[in-house]
Amino acid sequence: MNPLQALHSEQGQSVWLDFIERGMLEDGGLGRFVASDGVRGVTSNPSIFNKAITGGGRYDASLRRALARDPSLRAEALFWELAVEDIRLAADVLRDVYEDSGGGDGYVSLEVSPRLARDTGGTITEARRLWERVDRPNLMIKVPATGEGIPAMEELLAAGINVNATLMFSMRHYENVAGAYLRGVARCESPQRVASVASFFVSRVDTAVDRALEAAGTPEALALRGKAAVANSRLVYERFVTIFHGEAFAPARARGARVQRPLWASTSTKNPAYPDTKYVDELIGPETVNTIPLATLEAFRDHGRVERTVDADLDGARAVLEALPAHGIDLDAVTEQLQVDGVRAFAEAFDALLAALEARRRELGGA
């Protein structure tokens, strides 16, 4: 069996594709990933859209149609035109997965503007606008897990809007998001209709921690390289099980609410010294999602190992994280900075995309 399909059939883990672009939607590529590889969802972010929209002429026809309707449209309005078209197309491809799974999978994620990461009210307003504009039940609105994003998530979930909570790097981030989910579904009239995932970033943690370990330079420090990210994620999964299979979630479960699954994000391998499927191989388990970039998906299809690993050696995971302070590493500080950097990187990608769209708008005759 294709290892990607076996992740779901044998281990209860869903594969979502961390990629979207017009060509894949128009030529049936996404449908083939669903049929052949068992892909059960799609995620997007400003960086993905930046690469897709500025990578060729696939979007010119849509741009021309939009400008024909209103030549005064500016870059941000044009972006949302293109993004909503892509998200609708992808949602329609995945609609059968959504229906067949009873709303468990088949979702496509669209992120609010990264400029709103520190604006609770603005996030809620834009999320509601996008939810109504896309008009698909298998849409998830991505909201960053900043201090301002947490109350926005709660309000959106209470209103019955599916949420992909993103840019989490630490246990504190995860617990804040899980708390927002519990509060939100408690206030939701029909919690059985709401779905949410908690997108926990993986490889970026190793990139930052490894850099600090190499700066320390001792044999003991160097021996910890490549271990912090998986350890961090496994302990979050342990916390997920405690929350969602314990008393905290029992009232919501009784009302039909589904668990908020951990979603492993940033699972491409950044360090070429590590296996190219490392962050898939080592985080396999039930009630989880792995959102996988194309290159990593192809690598796992070729040589991925399918076995439950997400809760393997939890004592070893704790030992890894407990060893970091002895080498001058404050993981809380590292992960807080990673969230700040992530918000900034998405904002920069969004700004670059808008600049490129503005230039293209002028080339195509926009007013």
Tell me the CATH number at 47.
3.20.20.70
User: Residues 142, 227, 270, 278: which is the catalytic one?
Assistant: 142
Which domain covers residue 174, as residue numbers?
3-363
Domain tally for the chain?
1
Residues in contact with 95: Cβ distance below 8 Å, sequence separation at least 6, in sequence order: 106, 136, 138
Active-site residue flag, 227: no
Each residue's pLDDT, cut to its tens digit, for the chain (367 residues) gives 899 999 999 999 999 999 999 999 999 999 999 999 999 999 988 888 888 888 778 888 888 898 889 888 889 999 999 999 999 999 999 999 999 999 999 999 999 999 999 999 999 999 999 999 999 999 999 999 999 999 999 999 999 999 999 999 999 999 999 999 999 999 999 999 999 999 999 999 999 999 999 999 999 999 999 999 999 999 999 999 999 999 999 999 999 999 999 999 999 999 999 999 999 999 999 999 999 999 999 999 999 999 999 999 999 999 999 999 999 999 999 999 999 999 999 999 999 989 988 888 888 876 5
DSSP H stretches of helix in the chain: 3-11, 22-26, 29-37, 46-53, 60-69, 75-93, 95-100, 120-134, 149-158, 171-187, 203-216, 219-222, 228-244, 250-254, 278-281, 294-303, 314-323, 331-363
